[in-house]
Amino acid sequence: MSIEFSKKLTPNETQIPGVVLYDLPVHGDNRGWFKENWQREKMVALGLPDFRPVQNNISFNEKAGTTRGIHAEPWDKFISVATGRIFGAWVDLREGPTFGAVFTAELDPSQAIFIPRGVGNAFQTLEDNTAYTYLVTDHWSAEAQGQYTFLNLADETAAIAWPIPLEQAELSDKDKAHPRLADVTPMPPKKTLVLGADGQLGKALRKLYDGDASVEFAGRSDFDLSNEDALVARNWKNYSAIINAAAYTAVDTAETPEGRRTAWAINVTAVARLAKVAAAHGVTLVHISSDYVFDGTEALHDEDEPVSPLGVYGQTKAAGDAVVSVVPRHYIVRTSWVIGDGNNFVRTMASLAARGIAPSVVNDQIGRLSFTEDIAAGIKHLLDSGADYGVYNLTNDGDPQSWAHIAADVYELAGQQRSSVTGVSTTEYFRGKSAAPRPHNSQLDLSKIRSVGFTPPLASDRIIGYMRSHGVAGAGLPVTEPANQSHQANDLNIDLASE
């Protein structure tokens, strides 16, 4: 056997998405040869997914012409040749536009290939005593084998040009009996689970992913985050991502003994359970954070600013962020002043305007609105684009405003006078009341989310569209707040919970 020595470690893309053929450096002398078959640091730097193999398998083949496959397993594989030489054939058996795409190549010990979940793998030995090795990302089990997808080696559509004709090769009876491509059920993608699916953000995610069978939605009645059994009962090997849109968001109640316990249980303890699951199974965890992790003393909050929460709610969100940050695959999406389908500040102000009420609204807290359709779109963009994991600020764009300024905008759009809104300080509004401290400046820096290709729409455009689509421009809404003429905006500014 002749091996090409001292190649440079080089990835070579193929026509099947995610299938990458690697040239490996092999070092030899009169004693034999040595190679780094899989080197995590170097290969990840070249773009190989950090796929976390858990099992190493070796297929030894005594005779040339031994042919095995085509099998698509529900896990990723990193394949190489230890001794001998093979002709490899790979067929995309995943759902999608590349279903049926074929790639073939001859491999010796100086090459390796990464095969994603759902791509069929087959090989034919070209020399006696060939050993074919696999690193795989899941442990083999009878249950897992039931999720395999198979294709016949002689499929006419794939039209694989086997060097040794199949009628002369050594095949198993099972491989001979596998279906043709027209009869293959494609392997579906791994699933995404949305928790808190009945809250404002959850509803926006439902709308965004409507019709996508790979996304599941769970509200509180479907998935109780406080119950460890709910986590154990689910087969997380079938999931690629969890979007946690559930949270305890009662900012003022969190300052009470009962509220404090509940806030920590939902925003920290339950999140820690999710983080443990995500880390153990290589699942991407998307977690929603808040401007309340800051004290509001900086003019502009970027993702690297140390947290400094003022109240219990902010403390629990900061603690949840810290837990999620240790998950290898995570996105912490930090937002503020959320507006979506449900009780929120814009809807409330429109209702007050329709009833001719002149409210007092806080004018010394500054920030930007975040419409749930745009938070949802930003989350989808991060997942679909494969952006670097980490923290991302995500609000709508535009000049920062006070709550009183936003209220005046709503009044004007509703056909009322801007002067109907009176601005008051936070101290003045809360005088004589029990309330949690609020950050005075909630403006989040959007540079990082823009740098990965997502451009948040202007809040001023979204508020017009929101009022039109919800029929609140110039129209009355059901009365849900107390019949006084003062309103503190931040009681509604983070309505993400599933309750």
* CB distance 301 to 443 below 8 Å: yes
What percent of the chain has pLDDT above 90? 81
* pLDDT above 80: residue 494: no
For residue range 472-489, what is the model confidence (pLDDT) as tens digits?
654 433 333 333 333 333
Of 426, 403, 402, 440, the residue nearest 295 (C-alpha): 440
* pLDDT above 60: residue 299: yes
- Given this structure, which CATH class describes domain 191-492? alpha beta
* pLDDT above 60: residue 297: yes
Of 164, 5, 181, 153, the residue nearest 68 (C-alpha): 153
Instruction: Spell 458-474 as b/e; 16+ CB within 10 A means b.
Output: ebeebbeebbeeeebbe
pLDDT of residue 221: 82
* CB distance 272 to 228 below 8 Å: no
* CB distance 289 to 241 below 8 Å: no
* pLDDT above 90: residue 42: yes
* Strand runs labelled E in 250-371: 284-290, 330-335, 338-339, 360-362, 366-367, 370-371
User: Hey, where are the domains in the chain?
Assistant: 10-183, 191-492
For residue range 191-202, what is the model confidence (pLDDT) as tens digits?
999 999 999 999
Angle (deg, nearest 10), helices 459-469 and 403-413: 50
For residue range 121-155, what is the model confidence (pLDDT) as tens digits?
999 999 999 999 999 998 887 676 678 899 999 99
Instruction: Spell 426-441 as b/e; 16+ CB within 10 A means b.
Output: beebbeeeeebbbbbb
* pLDDT above 70: residue 120: yes
pLDDT of residue 231: 82
pLDDT of residue 480: 32
pLDDT of residue 315: 97
Fold (topology level) of 10-183: Jelly Rolls (2.60.120)
Q: How confident is the model at residue 470 (pLDDT cuts 50, 70, 90)?
A: confident
> DSSP state, 209?
T
For 192, 246, 485, the CA distances from 342, given in Å and listed in that order, are 24, 15, 21
For residue range 46-89, what is the model confidence (pLDDT) as tens digits?
999 888 899 999 999 999 999 999 999 999 999 999 999 999 99
* CB distance 241 to 194 below 8 Å: no
Task: Identify whether 139 is a catalytic site residue.
Answer: no
Report which secondary-structure segment, H or E, holds 465: helix 459-469
pLDDT of residue 87: 97
pLDDT of residue 144: 67
Say which of 22, 132, 134, 209 is annotated catalytic. Answer: 134
pLDDT of residue 29: 82
Tell me whether residue 255 is exposed, middle or buried, using C-beta atoms within 10 angstroms of its C-beta: 0 to 12, 13 to 18, 19 or more: middle
* CB distance 367 to 401 below 8 Å: yes
* CB distance 130 to 68 below 8 Å: no
pLDDT of residue 499: 28
Task: Kindly state the average pLDDT of the residues 155-169.
Answer: 96
Task: Identify whether 281 is a catalytic site residue.
Answer: no
* CB distance 347 to 491 below 8 Å: no
* CB distance 394 to 335 below 8 Å: yes
What percent of the chain has pLDDT above 70? 93
Say which of 71, 281, 405, 440 is annotated catalytic. Answer: 71
pLDDT of residue 472: 62
For residue range 201-220, what is the model confidence (pLDDT) as tens digits?
999 999 999 999 999 999 88
